[in-house]
């Protein structure tokens, strides 16, 4: 059985809330962690965010997000690296355990070269993360996002990059929505032992209402969430479990109602 | 450079056409192959279909489709097997080179068991296919269809089943839309040498308009089609190349105009 002691609310699960609303809502519901998005931090202001985190005692499990490494020009490549360094600074400032990396989509119709660019980009970012004491978590996305969001589409690829680069500050983030279908998912979770920096839950609804904003609430879909959670636990991950659901229909609910639903489903289905 | 000598039109690319319209249209455009769907054969009648095939001299590259093996009861399992035998009969009747297998989605939230059911179902169907002289082609679908259409989501899985069962009548069908994202796609195509029974082309548009009916026309998306075609050729496949595009927007075009577009794009982008 799950308790809420590991529950983290990804801010975009309650998209319509600002950071003050999210932190007050989570404090009232005794939820110990949140995952913050950079656009929402910018909106609320970093100082105000830090003050509210201090007041509520809520911890930041992750900041979303860094990544998007592929670049058509060297100039664009340095701007990307610079932007990722700012994301690391921000993650350090809010005391986040990890900065989530969404690696970027295919460039110039060349999948192999784009994948190399991602590995190179991560390798060049790691020293800055080490210095800042921030962990970087490579999040493989579902293959349906390979074209426009992440050419890293499997745990196997993420593990390979993490092994190649070989830093204690580089690991992977596992989101059940992105990896549940993979025949190698359990062997790759085991392979990731010691390098798992995050675990995200939600569900896969049939039929899928929308690729991007049609993720399901836990219990509404086909994903074997407890089995995946057990595998992640067996691989040594005992940190926060983030609920990350982008869903147009759920976003219509009042924030507090949605938060109550998340908490109930987390306790029953995770 | 491609010629039309290997071009096959999957019937659902020109969905609004009946079999008579399709065969007349392809004959007029000097397209040598079609892929037929069972619902359209039923609509036209098998005798009429055979007569028109004879009159036009057009060959059938494949029949769509068999499969959907997972079953909640033994009774349902035998009905599925029976239905697959009728599909084999029909493929034999129209002289199709291959019956395409779409394996079926997840049953009872148990992905491993469902995958076993597919392998068992295929193994039990093979003897009937051997007797009928029909080839069965396992078509892995994109992982976004794992829940509702096919738990077989990679060439690796399809190759493993084909190797395990080990019949000259069992192989795989490669559709670029379903496999282009896979980091193992080229090694798995090479592994499939001698067992490739079909090659389907289309494209992946960004952003994807729809999961099911948002496939792109060749040249409109990001898939490295010539590279994949070369890999399939290097693995020894020299048979028909099917254009299979389900696309709401293209279906609004008059059939002849759509066929002209397919032919042009095939010559330029495949």
pLDDT of residue A208: 93
Nearest beta carbon to residue A222 from set B106, B182, B221: B106
Q: Do residues B17 and B25 lie in contact, with contact meaning Cβ atoms separated by under 8 Å?
A: yes
pTM of the predicted protein model: 0.96
pLDDT of residue B1: 55
**Cβ-defined contact of B144 to A148 (cutoff 8 Å):** no
Residue A31 has pLDDT above 90, yes or no: yes
Our CA-based measurement puts residue B132 at a distance from the nearest CA of chain A, in whole angstroms, of 32
Question: Which backbone phi and psi does A242 adopt, to 5 degrees?
Answer: -90, 135
- DSSP line for B190-202: HHTTT-EEEEEE-
Digit-by-digit pLDDT tens for chain B (270 residues) are 568 999 999 999 999 999 999 999 999 999 999 999 999 999 999 999 999 999 999 999 999 999 999 999 999 999 999 999 999 999 999 999 999 999 999 999 999 999 999 999 999 999 999 999 999 999 999 999 999 999 999 999 999 999 999 999 999 999 999 999 999 999 999 999 999 999 999 999 999 999 899 999 999 999 999 999 999 999 999 999 999 999 999 999 999 999 999 999 999 999
What's the distance, CA A183 to chain centroid?
22
Per the listing, tokens 């494949």 go with: B62
B163 contact partners, CB below 8 Å, separation of at least 6 = none
Q: Do residues A139 and A100 lie in contact, with contact meaning Cβ atoms separated by under 8 Å?
A: yes
Strands A241-243 and B170-175, how do they pair? unpaired
pLDDT of residue B23: 98
Of A102, A137, A129, the residue nearest A118 (C-alpha): A102
- What chain B holds in terms of domains, given with CATH numbers, is 4-269 (3.20.20.150)
CA pair distance A189, A169, nearest whole angstrom: 18
- The percent of residues in chain A predicted with pLDDT above 70, rounded, is 99
**Cβ-defined contact of B144 to A147 (cutoff 8 Å):** no
Our CA-based measurement puts residue B224 at a distance from the nearest CA of chain A, in whole angstroms, of 7
DSSP summary character for residue A191: H
Q: Do residues B141 and B153 lie in contact, with contact meaning Cβ atoms separated by under 8 Å?
A: yes
Of A265, A172, A181, the residue nearest B111 (C-alpha): A181
CA pair distance A223, A232, nearest whole angstrom: 15
Chain B residue with the nearest C-alpha to that of A224: B109
What's the distance, CA A90 to chain centroid?
15
Q: Do residues B144 and B178 lie in contact, with contact meaning Cβ atoms separated by under 8 Å?
A: no
Per the listing, tokens 């195509």 go with: B189
Instruction: Identify from A104, A145, A147 which residue to disrupt to test chain B contact, counting B C-beta atoms within 10 A and taking the largest count.
Output: A147
pLDDT 10s digits, A98-123:
999 999 999 999 999 999 999 999 99
ipTM over 0.90: yes
CA pair distance B250, B245, nearest whole angstrom: 9
**Cβ-defined contact of A143 to B148 (cutoff 8 Å):** no
pLDDT of residue A1: 55
B8 contact partners, CB below 8 Å, separation of at least 6 = B31, B32, B33, B34, B35, B61, B62, B240, B241, B242, B243
pLDDT 10s digits, A236-264:
999 999 999 999 999 999 999 999 999 99
Cis, peptide link before residue A207, omega less than 30° from 0? yes
**Cβ-defined contact of B148 to A207 (cutoff 8 Å):** yes
């Amino acid at each position: 059985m799950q308790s809420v002691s590991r529950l983290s609310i990804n801010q975009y699960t309650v998209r319509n809330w600002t950071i003050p609303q999210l932190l007050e809502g989570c404090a009232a519901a005794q939820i110990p962690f949140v995952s913050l998005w950079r656009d929402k931090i910018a909106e609320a202001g970093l100082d105000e965010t830090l003050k509210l985190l201090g007041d509520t005692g809520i911890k930041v499990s992750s900041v979303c997000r860094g990544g998007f490494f592929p670049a058509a020009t060297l100039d664009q490549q340095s701007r990307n690296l610079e932007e990722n360094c700012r994301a690391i600074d921000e993650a350090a400032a809010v005391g986040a355990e990890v900065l989530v990396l969404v690696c970027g989509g295919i460039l110039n119709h060349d999948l192999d070269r784009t994948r190399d660019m991602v590995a190179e980009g991560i390798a060049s970012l790691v020293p800055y993360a080490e210095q800042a004491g921030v962990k970087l978590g490579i999040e493989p996305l579902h293959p349906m996002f390979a074209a426009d969001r992440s050419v890293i589409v499997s745990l196997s690829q993420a593990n390979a990059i993490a092994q190649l680069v070989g830093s204690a500050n580089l690991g992977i983030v596992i989101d059940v929505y992105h990896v549940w279908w993979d025949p190698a998912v359990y062997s790759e979770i085991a392979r990731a032992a010691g390098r798992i920096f995050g675990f995200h839950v939600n569900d896969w609804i049939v039929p899928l209402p929308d690729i991007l904003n049609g993720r399901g609430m836990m219990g509404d879909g086909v994903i074997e969430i407890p089995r995946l959670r057990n595998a992640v636990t067996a691989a040594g991950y005992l940190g926060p479990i983030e609920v990350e659901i982008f869903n147009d229909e759920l976003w219509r609910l009042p924030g507090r109602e949605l938060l109550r639903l998340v908490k109930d489903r987390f306790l029953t289905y995770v």
